[in-house]
Amino acid sequence: MMKIGDFSQLTGVPVKTLRYYAEIGLLHPACIEDNNYRYYGLEQLLEINHIIELKDCGFTLNEITNKDINTMNTSDLLCLYQKKLSVAEKERHFANMKIANLKRRISELKEKEKENMILYNLHQAPDHSTLMGTIKGVADFYSLNLSPEMLYGLTGQAFMINIHEELCPSGPYCYNLTAFIELLKNVGIEMKNCGFFTKSSTTKEREQIEKTIKEHLDSNNPCALLNMEYQLITGYDDTGFITTQPWSTDFPPGHLTYGTWEEIGNEIHMSIFTFNSVQQKPIDEMIKVALYSALEINTNPDQYTTKPYFTGLEAYDVFIKAIEDGHGSGQGNRWNATVWGECRNMASTFFKQLSDVYPNLSNDFLSLSHDYKLIGESLLKISESNLPIVPRIDVLKEIKSIESVAIDKIKTVLNKL
């Protein structure tokens, strides 16, 4: 006789299961003592093995319990097993069908997956300047390890301003990117303009640019578009391109349908850009060229924009004139002041960071940081439409004066570098 624990170890059937078998009348212990200890005999090994065999053949515990299988003759057992075999073969048939369907669906999804791709580590920063939000995303994707402020400074965007004579909100988007693209290449990012597209762009033109975008994404390089705002193109599926939404709002759209570009509606005036990683220039060289660009914006404004837009210090005069002409209460006032104010605040921190790079010129750079902080904060102040016209004009005049002095300070610093 064996205790229930020993019988369990010998048969591989858990104690809990043996107790359950006894409860349903399937296999009773040979002996239960007064202290409720349960004992099993060696002859019961045949019974438990038979139960295990029947379960393996597909019989349920209910069937095993209700049919006295042990007393059946060979013919009855054969009939019973053949019925179970028939059931098992049907189950196998349906299982094979299910397996075939699963394999087919998996194959279809794998083929579909080949048509889909996404650059998972590509994210757009939520800057007001969506151009720089995309650039920060690309820089992070290429692991350039540059702060937002350093990117604004090294690309010259920290010093940019572009104002329409009627203070149109398009100012932050409608200027020549040639100088910006050259400076961006110094940073380690090659940006290529692949063309401008409108509602009248032909099917062939759309197919060609879509092919270019796909090929570039497939090479693990980001793309971007400009249509109202700059957006990164992070991938595609079987319906269209996946685009970033910088401010987590419905606009701009997060998808661009192949061929129709229907999410944009009738407002199609879209530029497409591709990016590649290139060798970054030495930091000293990048800084010097960027500071020279801050001067160039004022000395050669025609290289950066064309009328009716104005850049450099002259942009502040145009800003003032537009307000005087009644254009200072709309979205153009708010958006231009917000975007260019953001750029000047980035310039402030950029110069503060340069004070650490060049300890011997720390005072010069900290002075510039202070100036551009005043400019940035003042621009954000006039972005508020409830600020009266006269104080707003006075603030713009003060901004121009401070920036004029700051430009002279940049000249001085360049002579010391």
Per-residue pLDDT of the chain (417 residues; tens, 9 = 90+): 889 999 999 999 999 999 999 988 888 899 998 888 999 998 888 888 888 888 888 888 887 777 666 667 778 778 877 887 888 888 888 889 999 899 888 887 777 666 688 999 999 999 999 999 999 999 999 999 999 999 999 999 999 999 999 999 999 999 999 999 999 999 999 999 999 999 999 999 999 999 999 999 999 999 999 999 999 999 999 999 999 999 988 889 999 999 999 999 888 999 999 999 999 999 999 999 999 999 999 999 999 999 999 999 999 999 999 999 999 888 999 999 999 999 999 999 999 999 999 999 999 999 999 999 999 999 999 988 678 888 999 999 999 999 999 999 999 999 999
d(CA 258, CA 236): 10
Helix or strand (DSSP H, E) at 189: strand 189-198
pLDDT at 329 (0 to 100) = 85
Strands, E, within 199-299: which ranges?
A: 223-227, 229-236, 240-243, 255-257, 269-277
d(CA 147, CA 140): 9
- Torsion sign, CA atoms 58, 60, 65, 68: negative
d(CA 320, CA 299): 21
- CB-CB contact of 223 with 279 (8 Å): no
Beta-carbon contacts of residue 355 (< 8 Å; ≥ 6 apart) = 361, 362, 363, 365, 366, 369
pLDDT at 67 (0 to 100) = 64
d(CA 379, CA 302): 24
If DSSP codes are grouped into helix, strand and coil, which group holds residue 306? coil
d(CA 27, CA 86): 28
Closest residue by Cα to residue 174 from 275, 297, 305 = 305
pLDDT at 106 (0 to 100) = 85
Domain boundary assignment for the chain: 2-71, 76-115, 117-139+189-277, 146-173+281-417
d(CA 216, CA 226): 17
What dihedral do alpha carbons 377, 382, 388, 391 form, nearest 10°? Answer: 50
The structure tokens listed for 20 are: 């359950």
Residue type, 14: P
Beta-carbon contacts of residue 398 (< 8 Å; ≥ 6 apart) = 378
Pairing of strands 223-227, 269-277: antiparallel
Using CB atoms within 10 A of its CB, is residue 203 exposed (0-12), middle (13-18) or buried (19+)?
A: exposed
Largest CA distance in the chain: 111
Beta-carbon contacts of residue 229 (< 8 Å; ≥ 6 apart) = 130, 173, 246, 251, 252
The position carrying tokens 């003759």 is 73
pLDDT at 375 (0 to 100) = 98
Tally of CA atoms within 13 A in the half-sphere of 53 that contains its CB = 9
- CB-CB contact of 210 with 257 (8 Å): no
CATH number for the region 2-71 comes to 1.10.1660.10
Residue type, 239: T
d(CA 408, CA 313): 12
The position carrying tokens 């295990």 is 52
pLDDT at 270 (0 to 100) = 97
